[in-house]
Amino acid sequence: MNFRWLNAILWGNSVALSWMWGLGLFFSVQMTFMFGLQGLLMFAIPNALGLMLFGFLTQNVAQSHDGGQESLAIFFDKFSKPFRLILYLYQIVALSLTVFALVKYLFVPLQLAAGPLLAIYLCLIVFVILAAGCLFGEEFGISKIKLSHGLLGGFLVICVGTILFNLHPFSPEPFQWTSPFQDQWRGARFFGYAIPLVIGLLVGPWLDLQHWQRAIQIHREKTSIRASYFFGGSFFFLMLLFHGCLAMWVMKVDGSHFIANDGLEKFKYAHDLVTQYFQRNPGADGIMRMAYFSFLGICALTTLDSGYIALKWFLEKNVEKSENMLISLIPKQILGSPVPTFVVVGIITLIGLLARLELEYFMVFYASFFVGYAALAIARCYVPNSQQPLPQIRMFMMSSVSLVIFAFGYMSSQTPLMILGAILPLVYVAWLVFNADLLRVVTERAGEVIEAASEIPAIRAIAKTAAVATGSGVVAPRDGHALGGHFEDKWFVYSTIASYADTNSVGNIYFGNYGMFVGKTRELFFNTVMPDFDLKTSKFYILTRSYEHKFVREAREFDTITVKLRVGDFNRKFCTLEHQIFGSDNILLGKGKQSLLFVSSKDYSLLDIPSEVYTSFIKYA
C-alpha cells in the first residue's frame, strides 16, 4: 500500500510538471497583472480541478470496462479513433505554445542578440529547446518518466525555495485582490476571460495525449488514477500560485520600472514582467535570477519530453494500424517518429515570433475550437455505443465558427462574443449527443418493429419495393451480361441463377453457397483486371486473410443471384474487397468484405502489395 501511495505521488508530480506548459507558466503572470489575486485564483482553481476531474472519470472508465490492467488502453484504442486528427492538432498547438512562450518571455527579454543576429539567435534557441525535449523523451519512456520527473521536481522545489527565501521585503502586503492596474480592465472584461477559461480548463485534459498515456500507464501499474491526479492537481495549483504571487511581488517592489508590451490589438501584455525584473537586477538578485530561469526551464522541458513520448506512442500505434494507401508509401520510421512534428512546432514558433504574436493568440484554440471536441469526448465515454460515427464536418465547422466568434470578440473587446464563442460548442455538443442517443433508441425500436412486421404478406411486398429504391445505387442487370462479368462504375458485377444444387433441405439457398458466389466473382474480377497473370510464372500469390459476410435475406431455387464486388481500401500490405449480393427484384441478400494479403511464391514470406496489383486495382478503389 505504501508503494502504491509513493507511486501515486511520483505520477502526480509528473502530471503537474507535464501540465505546466506555456499556458500555466506565463498566463498565470498575465492574469495576476490584469486582475490581481482574483484573476490568479480564477485561472488556477479550474485548472487544478480539470486535472482532478480527468483522473476521477478515467478511473471510472477503467473500472467499468473489461480487460483488467489493459481495460483503459483497450477503451482508448476504440475511443480515440474518430478523434485522432484533433488529438494530434491539440498536441502540436500545445507544444508550439510552450516553446513560443519560453522563447518570447524568457530569451527575448534577455536581449542576448539584436539586429541581424536576432533571427539566427531565435532559430538556435528554438532548435536547442526542441532538441532537449527530443533527447529527454528518447532517453526516458513512459515507464521511466516518473523517475526523471521526480528528480527534476526535486530541483524545482529547490528553485522555488531559493526564490521564496530571498524575497525582500516579504509580507502579505503585495497580495492584493485586484490589480494595481485595474483601470485598464474595468467592466465585464473579467467575465470575458473567466467563463471561457473555466470551460476550457475543465475539459482541456481530455484531448491531451500526455494525460491519456499517463492514465493508461498508471492503471497498468495498479495505481489509483484518482489519487495520482489528485496529487497532480494539488501540486499544479501550488506551482501556479507560486508564479502568480511572485509576479504580484514584482509589481509591488518594481511596478514603476517594468514595461508592458502592446499587442497587435493594443492590449497590454506583461507575461515577462518577472523576467524583466531579474534582467534589470542581475547583481542584487543573482541567485534568485538563476533559480527563476531554472524553474522556467524545468517546466518547459518536462512538457516537451512528455509530448515527445506521447506523440511517439500515438503515432506508432496509428501508423501500424492504418490501411491508407498514401500513408503506406511513406516509411514507417518517419511517420511514427515525433521528430517531424517537432520540426513543425519549431516552424510555427518562429513564425509566431516574427509576426509578434502573443500567448493569447494560441490560447483562443483552447477556449473555443477544442472545447466542443473535448466535451464530446467526455460525453462519448459515458453515452452508449461511443463508436457511432463522429460528424467530422459538422464538428469542424462549428468549432471553426466558435473560434472566429471568440477571436473577433477578443480583438474588438466584445465580452459577449468571447463568452458566446466558448459556450456555443457546448450547446451544440449537448444537442448532438441528445439527438444521437434519441436516434439510437428509435432505430433499435424501429428495427424490432420491421423485423416483426416482415412476416405480414402486405408488408413483405412493400419491403421488396423499398429494397429496389434504396439499394446500393448500382442496378443489377436484368437482361444478362458478359459471361465473365462486367463493370458498373467501380463495381464488378456477376450474375448467376441458383439451381437445386445450391439449396438445402428446406428449399432455400444453403448459407455456404453465398461465399462460393463471392469467391467465383472475385476470381472473375482478378481475371478481368489482370488478364496476363500466370500462376506458373507469378512471383507472388494472393491469399485470403479474413472474410466476413452479413446475411440479410434468403434466396431460393431459380432466383437470379447478382454479386457486386469492388476494392474498398488498401495499404502497403493488405487489400480489402467489399461485396454485396442481390436476389431477384434487386433485393439485398447480404453484404460483407474480405482482406487479401500477398506472399512470395518461393517461400510464402509476406510481401508489400505488388506493383502489378496496384496498377490493376487502384482505378477501382
- pLDDT digit string (tens) for 481-496? 567 788 888 889 999 9
In a domain, 297, yes or no: yes
Distance CA 210, CA 195 (A): 25
**Least trusted range by pLDDT, from 238-242, 262-266, 534-538, 602-606:** 262-266
pLDDT at res. 185 = 54
105 neighbors 26 (Cβ within 8 angstroms): yes
For residues 207 and 114, membership in a common domain is answered with: yes
pLDDT of residue 450 exceeding 50: no
What percent of the chain has pLDDT above 90?
37
Distance CA 503, CA 514 (A): 11
- Strand order of the β-sheet with 560-570 is 486-488, 491-497, 560-570, 575-582, 588-600, 540-551
Q: What is the DSSP string of 589-620?
A: EEEEEEEEEEEETTT--B-PPPHHHHHHHGGG
Average pLDDT over residues 113-135: 88
Instruction: Provide the pLDDT confidence category of residue 261 given band limits of 50, 70 and 90.
Output: confident
Average pLDDT over residues 80-87: 88
556 secondary structure, DSSP code: B
| pLDDT digit string, tens, across residues 455-508 | 444 444 444 444 443 343 444 444 445 677 888 888 899 999 998 888 987 888
Domain boundary residue, one of 438, 468, 503: 438
pLDDT at res. 103 = 93
In a domain, 469, yes or no: no
For residues 357 and 489, membership in a common domain is answered with: no
More confident residue, 188 or 29: 29
Mean pLDDT of the chain: 82
pLDDT at res. 159 = 93
Rounded (10°) angle between helices 370-382 and 22-64: 20
Identify the residue whose cell numbers are 488514477.
225
pLDDT of residue 74 exceeding 60: yes
What percent of the chain has pLDDT above 70?
84
Average pLDDT over residues 196-219: 91
Q: Which of 361, 377, 139, 160 is nearest to 265 (CA)?
A: 361
Highest mean pLDDT among 62-71, 281-290, 308-317, 379-388 belongs to: 308-317
pLDDT at res. 459 = 45
pLDDT at res. 252 = 81
More confident residue, 320 or 165: 165
For residues 398 and 508, membership in a common domain is answered with: no
| pLDDT digit string, tens, across residues 402-428 | 999 999 988 888 888 999 999 999 998
Check which CATH number belongs to the domain holding 251 and give it.
1.20.1730.10
More confident residue, 449 or 140: 140
pLDDT of residue 397 exceeding 50: yes
For residues 362 and 497, membership in a common domain is answered with: no
pLDDT at res. 584 = 84
pLDDT at res. 181 = 60
For residues 521 and 425, membership in a common domain is answered with: no
Instruction: Provide the pLDDT confidence category of residue 109 given band limits of 50, 70 and 90.
Output: confident
In a domain, 461, yes or no: no
* CB environment 94-120: b (16+ within 10 A), e (fewer): bbbbbbbbbbbbbbbbeeebeeeeeee
For residues 422 and 483, membership in a common domain is answered with: no
pLDDT at res. 73 = 87
In a domain, 354, yes or no: yes
For residues 428 and 543, membership in a common domain is answered with: no
pLDDT at res. 175 = 64
Average pLDDT over residues 92-98: 93
Distance CA 475, CA 198 (A): 55
Q: Which of 310, 351, 312 is nearest to 333 (CA)?
A: 312
Distance CA 218, CA 222 (A): 7
Rounded (10°) angle between helices 286-321 and 22-64: 40
Distance CA 277, CA 266 (A): 23
pLDDT at res. 15 = 93
Number of compact structural domains in the chain:
2
pLDDT at res. 586 = 83
pLDDT at res. 577 = 92
pLDDT of residue 437 exceeding 60: no
In a domain, 584, yes or no: yes
In a domain, 453, yes or no: no
Distance CA 284, CA 277 (A): 11
For residues 297 and 167, membership in a common domain is answered with: yes
**Least trusted range by pLDDT, from 283-287, 331-335, 429-433, 582-586:** 283-287
384 secondary structure, DSSP code: S
More confident residue, 501 or 116: 501
More confident residue, 335 or 290: 290
| pLDDT digit string, tens, across residues 331-360 | 667 778 899 999 999 999 999 998 888 888
For residues 431 and 562, membership in a common domain is answered with: no
583 neighbors 564 (Cβ within 8 angstroms): no
pLDDT at res. 438 = 46
In a domain, 455, yes or no: no
Check which CATH number belongs to the domain holding 602 and give it.
3.10.129.10
Average pLDDT over residues 317-341: 71
Which structural domain, as residue segments, surrounds residue 565?
A: 476-620
pLDDT of residue 328 exceeding 70: no
pLDDT at res. 279 = 82
Instruction: Provide the pLDDT confidence category of residue 385 given band limits of 50, 70 and 90.
Output: very low
Domain boundary residue, one of 438, 465, 492: 438
For residues 137 and 252, membership in a common domain is answered with: yes
Distance CA 538, CA 612 (A): 11
For residues 501 and 427, membership in a common domain is answered with: no
In a domain, 614, yes or no: yes
More confident residue, 182 or 21: 21
More confident residue, 578 or 114: 578
pLDDT at res. 180 = 63
For residues 310 and 430, membership in a common domain is answered with: yes
More confident residue, 30 or 286: 30
